[in-house]
Amino acid sequence: MKLLDFIDQKTIITELRSTDKKNVLEELSLPVSEITQIEHRELVRVLIERENLGSTGIGNGIGIPHGKLKSLKTLILGIGLSRKGVDFDAMDGKPAYLFFLLLTPDNSTDLHLKLLARISKILKNDAFKEKILGAAKPEDVLQLIADIDEDF
């Protein structure tokens, strides 16, 4: 299984407009709502509930907002790039520029954890991070992920 197995090009936003955490969550979840037919408000609620437990801003310019939903049939990933940076309550206090949104069905804890670990691993590659932050189109993001994607 690869990350690309869970990414739809429509869930990649290369120019996030949002300037705060709540709006980033709303913007990232909008295309996911359209694809999954799950109410946008419900997706945002789940993500905010998770953020209330502790920020998913992991530092080094990265946010990995995630959550689980009973109504979701399959796992879905979204990606967002912010050119200006967003205060995402990161551990290092710095703005986040790169976001990986992860939503999984309620009963898929193992897969959820594996994907979080895989995303964290590839984001430790500074050359990859630099390239993806420079991506202009969703197709570019998909290609960069394809180049680094491995089975997990």
Q: In this predicted structure, what is the pLDDT of residue 112?
A: 87
**DSSP-derived secondary structure letter, 49:** H
Q: Is the pLDDT of residue 126 over 90?
A: yes
* Per-residue pLDDT reduced to its tens digit, 93-104: 999 999 999 999
The catalytic residue among 21, 66, 118, 129 is 66
The Cα–Cα gap between 93 and 49 comes to 21
Weakest mean pLDDT among 8-17, 41-50, 101-110? 101-110
Is the dihedral angle over the CA atoms 32, 35, 45, 73 positive or is it negative?
A: negative
The Cα–Cα gap between 21 and 25 comes to 6
Domain hosting residue 58, numbered range? 3-148
User: Annotated catalytic, 112?
Assistant: no
Confidence of residue 111 (pLDDT cuts 50, 70, 90): confident
Task: Give me the CATH number covering residue 113.
Answer: 3.40.930.10
**DSSP-derived secondary structure letter, 74:** S
* Per-residue pLDDT reduced to its tens digit, 50-93: 999 999 999 999 999 999 999 999 999 999 999 999 999 999 99
Q: How many domains does the chain have?
A: 1
Q: In this predicted structure, what is the pLDDT of residue 12?
A: 98
Confidence of residue 150 (pLDDT cuts 50, 70, 90): confident
Q: How many CB atoms within 10 Å of residue 133?
A: 15
Q: In this predicted structure, what is the pLDDT of residue 152?
A: 60
